[in-house]
C-alpha cells in the first residue's frame, strides 16, 4: 500500500475535498483523484462519497480512517527520527483544548514550542466540547472532566480541584448559601445543559439541584458572569485563585462537602501512536502546570 495514496485520503477527509487535499499536498487534482482511485481499487471498497460539492466517508472509509492516519503518522515519525538521529517534534500538531485552560496554559507555551521546534506547526481548536478525534484528525485533546468514553485513550496530567465562588456584590444582595440545599434558592451559573453540581459529602456522592436564569456553553462565560455579580459558579481553583486573592470572588464552603474531584486529561484516538510532536507538547504542558503549582502531575 502506497502511503502517498493513503495521504491523499486522509488529507481529503481533513480538508473537506479532493481539490483542497491536492493543494495541501502540492499535486494536481487529477493526480489526487488517481491516487484515491488506486487506493480504493487496492482495498476493493469505496472510501468516500464524492460529488462536485461535497465529500463524505462511506462506512468502509470511516472504519479505515484511523488506520490510514496511523500509517501516515508512523511514516512521518520514522522519517523525522532517521533524519534527525533523535526524536524531534515536526509536522502539524492538531489539538483541541478548553477555552479558559487554553488561554491560561496552552497559549503561553506555544511561542517557545515553535521557537524550539522549527519544523513543528500547531493548530489549536478552542472548545469546551470534545470533538470526534478520528474524523477531525485531532492528535490530542486536553479535557477537564470525568471521562466516560472508553473508546479513547486518556492519560492523567494533573489533579483539578474546584471551588464554589460568588462575587461580594452578589453575596451582599442575596446572602451566603449555608448548605447544598440552599443552592436551589440561588442564581447558579452552570454550563449549558447541566441541571446539578456533584459533590462528595461525608464520602458519598451528592447532587445539588441548580436554579438560575443563566447558562453558557463555555466555562469562561460562567466565570465572567460570576465576576459581574450574576450568581454562583463552580470553577477550577486555578481559574479563580487570582480573583479570590484580590477579593473579586469569595469562596463558599459547605460543611463536609467538596465539589466532585475531576482531573486534567490528555486524550488520544485509540489507534494513534503517541508521536514525538505530542510527547514534546505534553512535556512542556506538564512543566507549565508544575510551575503553576497544580499538583498531581504524572509521567
72 with 134, same domain: the answer is no
> Residue 179's domain is classified under what CATH number?
3.40.190.290
Residue 297, domain member (yes or no):
no
Distance (Å, whole) CA 55 – CA 49: 6
Strand partners, 143: 265
Neighbours of 82 (CB within 10 A): 8
167 with 242, same domain: the answer is yes
pLDDT at 160 over 90: yes
- Please give the backbone phi and psi of residue 62, each rounded to the nearest 5 degrees, phi first: -65, -40
pLDDT, average across residues 234-255: 97
* pLDDT in the model for residue 14: 79
Distance (Å, whole) CA 15 – CA 37: 18
CA separation (Å) from 63 to 10, 72, 271?
Answer: 12, 16, 11
Name the band, by pLDDT with cuts 50, 70 and 90, for residue 52.
low
pLDDT at 289 over 90: yes
Residue 296, domain member (yes or no):
no
Residue 56, domain member (yes or no):
yes
197 with 279, same domain: the answer is no
143 with 286, same domain: the answer is yes
> Residue 20's domain is classified under what CATH number?
1.10.10.10
Average pLDDT, the chain: 87
Residue 266, domain member (yes or no):
no
pLDDT at 153 over 90: no
Domain-terminating residue out of 82, 102, 134: 82
> Residue 127's domain is classified under what CATH number?
3.40.190.10
91 with 77, same domain: the answer is no
**Among the listed ranges 58-62, 82-86, 268-272, 292-296, which one has the minimum average pLDDT value?**
82-86
Name the band, by pLDDT with cuts 50, 70 and 90, for residue 152.
low
**Among the listed ranges 60-69, 141-150, 187-196, 286-295, which one has the minimum average pLDDT value?**
141-150
More confident site: 105 or 139: 105
pLDDT tens-digit map of 87-102: 568 888 989 999 999 9
**Among the listed ranges 227-241, 244-258, 265-279, 281-295, which one has the minimum average pLDDT value?**
265-279
pLDDT at 18 over 60: yes
17 with 62, same domain: the answer is yes
pLDDT tens-digit map of 78-136: 665 555 545 568 888 989 999 999 999 999 999 999 999 988 999 999 988 777 776 67
pLDDT, average across residues 249-260: 95
pLDDT at 162 over 80: yes
- Give all strands (DSSP E) within the chain, no chain letters: 48-50, 55-57, 91-97, 120-126, 140-145, 152-160, 162-166, 196-201, 204-209, 232-236, 250-252, 257-259, 262-269
150 with 188, same domain: the answer is no
Domain that holds residue 149: 87-156+273-291
Residue 34, domain member (yes or no):
yes
247 with 168, same domain: the answer is yes
What's the domain count of the chain? 3
pLDDT tens-digit map of 168-217: 999 999 999 999 999 999 999 999 999 999 999 988 999 999 988 999 99
122 with 152, same domain: the answer is yes
225 with 283, same domain: the answer is no
pLDDT at 298 over 60: no
* pLDDT in the model for residue 76: 64
Most confident of 5-14, 128-137, 272-281: 5-14
Domain-terminating residue out of 38, 67, 82: 82
Residue 298, domain member (yes or no):
no
20 with 39, same domain: the answer is yes
Residue 268, domain member (yes or no):
no
Residue 265, domain member (yes or no):
no
Q: Residues 6 or more apart from 60 whose CB is under 8 A from it? A: 43, 45, 46, 47
Domain-terminating residue out of 82, 114, 132: 82
* pLDDT in the model for residue 23: 86
39 with 14, same domain: the answer is yes
* pLDDT in the model for residue 70: 75
* pLDDT in the model for residue 82: 56
pLDDT at 59 over 70: yes
Amino acid at each position: 500500500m502506497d502511503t502517498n495514496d493513503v495521504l491523499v485520503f486522509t488529507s481529503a477527509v481533513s480538508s473537506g475535498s479532493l481539490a483542497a487535499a491536492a493543494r495541501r499536498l502540492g499535486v494536481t487534482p487529477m493526480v489526487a483523484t488517481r491516487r484515491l482511485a488506486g487506493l480504493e481499487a487496492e482495498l476493493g471498497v469505496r472510501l468516500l462519497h464524492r460529488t462536485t460539492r461535497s465529500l463524505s466517508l462511506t462506512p468502509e472509509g470511516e472504519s479505515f480512517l484511523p488506520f490510514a492516519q496511523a500509517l501516515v503518522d508512523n511514516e512521518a515519525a520514522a522519517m523525522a527520527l532517521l533524519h534527525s538521529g533523535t526524536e524531534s517534534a515536526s509536522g502539524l500538531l492538531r489539538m483541541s483544548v478548553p477555552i479558559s485552560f487554553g488561554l491560561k496554559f496552552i497559549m503561553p507555551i506555544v511561542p517557545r514550542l515553535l521557537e524550539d521546534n522549527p519544523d513543528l506547526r500547531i493548530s489549536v481548536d478552542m472548545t469546551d466540547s470534545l470533538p470526534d478525534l478520528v474524523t477531525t484528525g485531532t492528535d490530542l485533546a486536553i479535557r477537564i472532566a470525568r471521562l466516560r468514553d472508553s473508546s479513547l485513550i486518556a492519560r492523567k496530567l494533573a489533579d483539578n480541584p474546584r471551588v464554589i465562588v460568588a462575587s461580594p456584590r452578589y453575596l451582599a444582595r442575596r446572602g451566603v448559601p449555608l448548605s447544598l440545599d440552599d443552592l436551589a434558592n440561588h442564581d447558579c451559573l452552570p454550563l449549558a445543559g447541566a441541571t446539578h453540581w456533584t459533590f462528595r459529602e461525608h464520602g458519598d456522592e451528592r447532587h445539588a439541584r441548580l436554579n438560575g436564569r443563566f447558562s453558557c456553553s463555555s466555562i469562561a462565560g460562567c466565570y465572567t458572569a460570576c465576576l459581574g455579580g450574576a450568581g454562583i459558579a463552580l470553577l477550577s481553583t486555578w481559574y479563580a485563585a487570582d480573583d479570590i486573592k484580590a477579593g473579586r470572588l469569595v469562596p463558599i464552603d459547605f460543611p463536609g462537602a467538596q465539589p466532585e474531584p475531576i482531573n486534567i486529561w490528555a486524550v488520544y484516538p485509540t489507534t494513534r501512536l503517541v508521536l514525538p510532536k505530542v510527547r514534546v507538547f505534553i512535556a512542556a504542558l506538564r512543566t507549565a502546570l508544575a510551575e503553576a503549582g497544580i499538583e498531581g502531575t504524572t509521567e
